[in-house]
Structure 1
Amino acid sequence: MPKLLYLVTEDWFFVSHFLPMARAARAAGLEVVVATRLREQAARIAAEGFRTVSLESERRSLGPIEIGRSIARMAAIVRAERPDIVHCIALRMVALGGLAAKAAGARALVLAPTGLGHLWIENGPVERIGRAATRAVVGRWLRGPRTRYLFENRDDPREFGLDPDGPDVTLIGGAGVAADAAAPTAEPPAPPLRVAVVSRMLRPKGIAEAVAAVRRAREIGAAVELSLYGTPDPSNRRSCSEAELRAWSAEPGVAWRGRTDDVAGVWRGHHVAMLLSYREGTPRSLVEAAAAGRPIVATDVPGCREVVRDGIEGLLVPARDTEQAAQALVRLAGDAALRARMGAAAHARFRAAFTEEAVGRAVTGLYRELLAR
């Protein structure tokens, strides 16, 4: 039986986004092994029938010693497992895991950055050096006849000198959402217009901008309320603090509701999804909102504009432009027919490109191609 080894930094990230992909791989006849930091979700991965390998690494460290140790640990895992395909998930693992797999003689590589994150959002000297190094590793050193790239939008491949329509690039709709679990529901009564942000509470996700946009829309006179679903990450310097979230929640029309496991319930109770992120791969929260038939207000940045076309599935606004975001909310608050039309278009777009089933077919087709070479 051919063996597939996933290299992924965090077990929770694998569970929340990649279990359907791994199930599809198993259904296609591959043995699946997951190398990751084993924490709260280790039992969940094992319960799925996938063997795990502990992969401890410092995900925030850019020090050369820790980078060297990480590469050595992953190379040892690849040599021990001798997989037919190594699938590296997220940008850090794509670069370091890809180098490790190549050094260990991996037969085939699948590199899936998922999104380019703060290295492409920020523009300090460290980020500029990091971008140049990452472009060299991912776009040149790891490229080869048995390397394939998985991207979630058409913008990101170009950052590595890759053609999004090229034979070594496959575009997928993020991790996908199960088609049979997604059904549009009637919107709740209005006014007020209930807007939800479902996201990690990080600054690059545009959390402060979402609060400011709702604040401004209310000043203009629109009856708009905002719910923030998600938790801060104290280990991430780009996280909103709990104190900030509580202060925003004390404002009229804003409520921080913390983590939720009932995303479908969120969209049943809200009219509009909003994500004012600075950059994304494919934002799962917007795909889930589209599946539920909700119109979307999002920034015109990579990833978000993959899900939303301006004036069709929702309204796109420039990043960090809270005035235009507020005007978009005012417009949707005053036009139920527009909300209904955009919500229907969002659901149709989800069905066409962002289901788990479509993603699973694309990825297993890629695995089969590599195994046949």
Structure 2
Amino acid sequence: MAPLKILQFCAVDATADVLLRPLIESLKTEGHQVDIACAYGDRTDQLREEGWVIHTLPIDRKFHPKRNLQTIQELVTLLRREKYDAIHVHTPVAAALGRVAARIARTPHILYTAHGFYFHERMSRVAYELVFWLEKSLAALATDWLLLQSEEDYSLAKTRQFKRDDRLLHLGNGIDLNRFKPIAKTHNPEQLKFLFVGRLVREKGILDLLQAFTQLSKTHPGATLTIAGELMVNERDQETGKLVEAYLADNPNVHYAGFVKDTPTLFSDHDVFLLPSYREGLPRSILEAMASGLPVIATNIRGCREEVIDHETGYLVPVASPDALAEAMESFILHPERLETYGRRGREVVEERFDESIVLTRQLDLFAQISAREAG
């Protein structure tokens, strides 16, 4: 097997650190050289101190012609200079720009992991069709291998013939089952501890959750809500973070934990996990919560409904429905026995379907296949 020179390309350094770290380290162990290209961020210097090679580029997280063109130009220069064998792109906008640049630079192998197609069921029909056309065009013209985390995305890409079947891979998602484990604990129904982990942006449903918790608190004042996450400076939505800050000032039962590195302990310290997003791929936070033995309340959207089994590992509620969220939260207060039964079943589901080692093996096998092609 010939060692490959691989570039992992994503919008922000947090993606490389949190989501891609297992893959990056595994590829290095296999003997490949793995560099990262992303926008400069809070973690860049730390990752460089660990020995990671990180190339920083200006990357806008939304479509902006002038800035997007600059990203493409700088990435083309990097790809031509470093002569990478393969580029592996992530996150919607960065993935689009990265694939265009890689095709211009004639990088031999272009891989795209769709953590969740950008088009989704809540878009207007016109917007959906436009983004769908763009995704399918990029898949056909500037993608050699299309890896799908969501089973729904994989089925759609296969049915609508985004690529030949042998160039499509249902990757799935997974977590380290040894890191996230359930622990024995006693639940106080009237003092349940609810937890949200995610970016402080509107599309994560955080404002709906705060409204739901306000309703819940009127009849169950002992309940608490912890919000763990951060608002990055390059985030498109800055207004929601300000609204959350204002809410926190007036609600002592809502605690802001900020970015939490020790997430296993965070999950162990709470009773119920919530993710009321408007759009997801295949969220790791739900898997981490389920592996930790927590029941989950999530919205009935792509990704979430592939992980949460309604009335078995938690509840699926409509998008943008604080009333439904409040009702689901109250259900665990009124029926505390479900905390254990739903939590236990959630752990079983993760063990059966979402083991990180399986997902890593699929990716390593694909890179081994590419390496064999390079070796001739």
Deviation of 1:93 after TM superposition, in Å, equals 2.0
Quick check: 1:213 aligned with 2:226?
no
Alpha-carbon deviation of 1:116?
3.9
Corresponding position of 1:266: 266
Q: CA deviation at 1:162?
A: 4.6
SS of the equivalent of 2:10 reads strand
CA contact (8 A) 1:186 1:268 kept: no
Pick from 142, 145, 148 the counterpart of residue 148 of structure 1: 145
Alpha-carbon deviations, 1:312-360, whole Å to 9, x = none?
2211111112222222111112223211111112112222333332221
Letter in 2 for 1:13: T
Deviations 1:211-237 (A, max 9, x none): 122222334558532111122345434
**Which deviates more from structure 2 when the two are superposed, residues 356-365 or residues 297-306?**
356-365
- Structure 1 window deviating more from structure 2 (231-240 vs 265-274): it is 231-240
Q: How many residues were matched structurally?
A: 367
CA positional deviation for 1:192: 1.3
Distance 1:234 1:97 in 2: 22
Q: CA deviation at 1:125?
A: 10
Given residue 22 of structure 1, which amino acid in structure 2 is its aligned partner?
I
1:108 aligns with 2:109: yes
C-alpha distance after superposition, 1:249-273 (max 9, x if no partner): 2236433332322222221221000
Match of 2:175 in 1: 177
Q: 1:92 to 1:347 in 2, by over 3 A?
A: same
Residue type of the partner of 1:199? Answer: G
User: In 1, distance between residues paired with 2:167 and 2:321?
Assistant: 36
Tell me how far apart the structure 2 counterparts of residues 37 and 252 of structure 1 sit (CA, whole Å).
36
Partners in 2 of 1:187 and 1:162 — Cα distance? 49
- Answer whether contact 1:179 1:351 (CA < 8 A) is retained: yes
AA partner of residue 181 (structure 1): R
Q: In the alignment, residue 150 of structure 1 is paired with which amino acid? A: L
Q: Which runs of 5+ in 1 are unaligned?
A: none
Residues 162, 302 of structure 1: CA spacing in aligned structure 2 closer, same or farther, 3 A cutoff? Answer: farther
Q: Which whole-Å CA distance do the structure 1 matches of 2:110 and 2:317 have between them?
A: 37
Q: CA deviation at 1:278?
A: 0.4
Amino acid at match of 1:212: Q
Q: Which residue identity does 1:247 align to in structure 2?
A: A
Give the Cα–Cα distance (whole angstroms) in 2 for the partners of residues 122 and 58 of structure 1: 26
The separation in 2 between residues aligned to 1:83 and 1:242, in whole angstroms, is 39
* Residues in 1 aligned to 2:161 and 2:200: alpha-carbon distance in whole angstroms: 32
Return the alpha-carbon distance in structure 1 between the equivalents of residues 65 and 235 of structure 2. Answer: 20
Overall identity of the aligned pairs, in %: 23
The one-letter code of the counterpart of 1:266 is L
The residue correspondences of 1:94-173 to structure 2 (distance < 5 A) are 94-116=95-117, 120=120, 123=123, 127=127, 131-132=131-132, 134-143=134-143, 147-157=144-154, 161-162=160-161, 166-173=165-172
CA 1:122–1:76: 2 relative to 1, 3 Å: farther
Partner of 2:292: 292
SS in structure 2 at match of 1:261: coil
> Conserved in 1, the CA contact under 8 Å of 2:182 and 2:292?
yes
* Distance apart, 1:363 and its partner CA: 1.0
Cα distance in structure 2, aligned partners of 1:239 and 1:154? 31
Report the equivalent of 1:29: 31
Change (3 A) 1:335 1:355: same
> How far is 1:15 from its partner?
0.7
| Deviation for aligned residue 1:310 | 1.1
Provide closer, same or farther for how the CA distance between residues 237 and 70 of structure 1 changes in structure 2, counting only shifts above 3 A. closer
- For the structure 1 residues 3 and 319, does the alpha-carbon distance in structure 2 shift closer, same or farther, using more than 3 Å as the test? same
Shift of 1:130: 5.7
1:202 aligns with 2:201: yes
Structure 1 residue aligned with 2:368: 368
Between the aligned partners of 1:332 and 1:166, the Cα distance in structure 2 is 44
1:83 counterpart letter in structure 2: Y
Q: Distance in 1 between matches of 2:121 and 2:185?
A: 35
Task: Go from structure 1 to structure 2 and tell me whether the alpha carbon gap of 1:13 and 1:372 turns closer, same or farther (over 3 Å shift).
Answer: same
What are structure 2's unaligned runs of at least 5 residues? none
- Which residue does the alignment assign to 1:230? 229
TM-score by length of 1: 0.88
8 Å Cα contact 1:276/1:319 also seen in 2: yes
Q: Given residue 18 of structure 1, which amino acid in structure 2 is its aligned partner? A: L
- Give the AA of the match of 2:106: G
In 1, the alpha carbon distance for the partners of 2:54 and 2:255 equals: 39
* Segment of structure 1 superposing worse, 240-249 or 177-186: 240-249
Amino acid at match of 1:227: T
What corresponds to 1:275 in structure 2? 275
SS at match of 1:236: coil
Residues of 2 paired with 1:49 and 1:365: CA distance? 25
Mapped to 2, the partners of 1:130 and 1:71 lie a distance apart of 21
One-letter identity of the residue aligned with 1:215: T
The residue identity in structure 2 corresponding to 1:155 is E
